[in-house]
Chain A
């Protein structure tokens, strides 16, 4: 049973802001999705191989060969804030 609390919890894990007005509606939507999955669960799939990937491809590797990395300047170019070659983020304390 999906309720408002579950919606808010999942929202918090995903760093999503859930508008209180929408929480009930999302709960109902998610509940509908779960019902649909439950319906799928009634099918007998014992003879079907589980799909672990949508592509029918296996064993894609790269060899252990170094290719040039980005320069520090370029790496810093994506950052909102940086300091002496480090990305600067809001303080997190352990």
Chain B
């Protein structure tokens, strides 16, 4: 029997505001001592009252608009009740029936074009604390620094049909969110987390199968692997006549398997009710328009424009827009140098290689568009070879010296001076009578050997094109 996979994703995004969602505790606590960014509000002490961080609401609107959502003009918060030590109040302040945003979409690339993945809703909520299970103490240790970190939860429609589509959705979502600058979207640090709802159904059947929820994946590729594993597991169960049980499963990265999650949220009975400690919020059209005006050009709009404005192919344009700071840099370079394709080649090739080698992002480097285009110009004018140009780029990033200074200091300029090249060609020809005899007898491959010898004599700094021309001229004259 043929089965169809159905996947919906829930993404939790930590916002990078200065303070937490409902109190003034610092929000950037990664690597801090435990329980040093806590106060009566985020510890849920009796008598304390939450107050919404304005920036969190604005970031929520931003995310919603970027995902093509409707923004609710009436916004309220609700209590989601469950008992677990990572939640000091015994409830999480979240949004139930009036989320900040709903009914959006995100396009992903598929073989025959684009596919639209629906976004059901995006809502604001507070993050929970962190638990460490200590076997030696036979106890659990709780750190509430993370408690109250602002989150946007983005819930997709069950529109994805393969693990690859889920991966592509996450990549597209992260790209869009990174452009907004509302989060660092780092899955390893937990600032972007993803749960997957997975089910299978016989191909052609409209009704959804029983789903399981996958948690604990800490990279996009782990999400893909976990879904593949789960689809396989469900298929085997159904084929052997069994029934899939609705449950929450934890992905085990080391083993490459899932196992049933016990304890937490056994009964999914959250008893939502309106949060009485927070008054409701109403947004006017002009509030929403103000945020809309602040939205940056979004990645897929930029992609389209780069192709059109600079005549780039899809591949080049996509690599450039994959990092907003590189895309901006490209445009600065394009003002100074007219051949956009050449710039794209340098940024997507040698520069990308430098970034990967250094394990750094572009924004961590200081490279000016003047120096970058200066370097491209030197290569195009034949002052330095392509190969030497790449070395200069390395030095440029290491030392922050100018291209001109590097060429001068290291004597890297190619020798294009005819007299010097002719001298070397003559020397090489005199030393290799056998090669000359071969060329004269029609074996022109020996020509490359002679060029190589001449290049060696000049420590690789001869202009290869000129060298070749002079050598060829010698034989034509014979």
Contacts and interface: CB of A to CB of B under 8 A. Distances in A.
Interface of A: 13, 15, 52-55, 57-67, 69-72, 75-76, 78, 81, 83-94
A87 B35 contact: yes
Contact of B43 (A15, A78, A83, A90): A78
Interface string B137-148: 111111110000
Nearest to A62: B51
B460 interface: no
Among A72, A76, A94, residue most surrounded by chain B Cβ atoms (within 10 Å)? A94
Contacts of A15: 83
Contacts of A64: 17-19, 53-56
Interface in B28-86: 33-40, 43, 45, 51-57, 74, 76, 81, 83-85
A53 B274 contact: yes
Among A13, A63, A70, A86, residue most surrounded by chain B Cβ atoms (within 10 Å)? A86
Interface of B: 17-19, 23-26, 33-40, 43, 45, 51-57, 74, 76, 81, 83-85, 131-134, 137-144, 250, 261-264, 267, 269, 271, 274, 276, 278-282
A92 B142 CA distance: 11
Nearest to B51: A62
A86 B141 contact: yes
Contacts of A89: 85, 139-142
Given A87-B142, A90-B139, A62 B24 contact: yes
Nearest to A89: B85
A13 B19 contact: no
A60 B84 CA distance: 29
A76 to B, nearest CB: 7
Given A52-B76, A76-B35, A91 B139 contact: yes
B18 A53 contact: no
Given A13-B271, A61-B54, A94-B262, A54 B276 contact: yes
Contacts of A88: 137, 139-142
B131 A92 contact: yes
A85 B43 contact: no
Given A55-B279, A85-B34, A66 B18 contact: yes
Contact of A69 (B39, B74, B141, B143): B39
B25 A69 contact: yes
A86 B280 contact: no
Contact of B138 (A75, A85, A91): A91
A15 B40 CA distance: 23
A65 B43 contact: no
Given A66-B19, A86-B142, A61 B51 contact: yes
A63 B54 contact: yes
Contact of A86 (B35, B43, B138, B271): B35
Contacts of B141: 83-84, 86-89
Given A66-B18, A69-B38, A83-B134, 10 more contacts: A54-B276, A62-B51, A64-B18, A64-B53, A66-B26, A71-B36, A83-B139, A84-B141, A89-B139, A90-B140
Contacts of A75: 35-36, 38, 43, 144
Q: Can you list the 8 inter-chain pairs with the closest CB atoms, starting with the nearest? A: A67-B24, A86-B141, A64-B55, A61-B54, A87-B142, A85-B34, A62-B51, A89-B85
Nearest to A88: B139
21 contacts: A13-B267, A53-B76, A53-B274, A54-B276, A57-B279, A60-B279, A62-B52, A65-B24, A67-B19, A69-B25, A70-B38, A71-B36, A72-B35, A78-B43, A86-B34, A88-B137, A91-B138, A92-B85, A92-B133, A94-B261, A94-B263
Given A53-B274, A86-B34, A59 B53 contact: no
B156 to A, nearest CB: 25
Contacts of B144: 75, 87
Contacts of B81: 13
A29 to B, nearest CB: 18
B26 A62 contact: no
A71 to B, nearest CB: 8
A69 B36 CA distance: 7
Contacts of A62: 24, 51-54
Contacts of B281: 58-59
A65 B19 CA distance: 6
Nearest to B26: A66
A92 B263 CA distance: 7
B468 to A, nearest CB: 64
Contacts of A54: 276
B150 to A, nearest CB: 10
Contacts of A87: 35, 85, 141-144
Given A85-B35, A87-B144, A59 B282 contact: yes
A87 B34 CA distance: 9
Contacts of A55: 279
A41 to B, nearest CB: 17
Contacts of B56: 64
B145 to A, nearest CB: 9
A69 B37 contact: yes
Contacts of B55: 63-64
Contacts of B261: 94
